[in-house]
Amino acid sequence: MNEAARELKTKSEEIGRVVTSMHPLVPKIGDAGAQGEIYKALFELTKQVEVVKKHLLKLERRDDSTLL
């Protein structure tokens, strides 16, 4: 895996941790409508970060297979 891919992986993991840390804060805003929309947005962020991580994992596996 090249340096750019490694950095993308690291940044994706950081984003995942930040998004996860946001979940407990949502109920504290006290507005059910806003909470629902924020949860939806956090879910979409999580999905998209997972897409990035999945593609990086495929790339990593492809790079490893060329070493054999």
Question: How many folded domains does the chain comprise?
Answer: 1
Position 66 scores a pLDDT of: 60
| Residue 67 domain flag | no
User: What is the b/e burial string over 8-28, where b = at least 16 CB atoms within 10 angstroms of the residue's CB?
Assistant: bbeebeebbeebeeeeeebee
Segment 2-17 shows an average pLDDT of 95
- Domain residues for 25? 3-62
- Quote the pLDDT of residue 51: 97
40 part of a folded domain: yes
Amino acid at 36: G
Model confidence pLDDT, tens digit, residues 12-67: 999 999 999 999 999 999 999 999 999 999 999 999 999 999 999 999 888 666 65
pLDDT at 31: 97
User: In this structure, what are the phi and psi dihedrals at residue 11, rounded to the nearest 5 degrees?
Assistant: -65, -40
| Confidence band for 68, pLDDT divided at 50, 70 and 90 | low
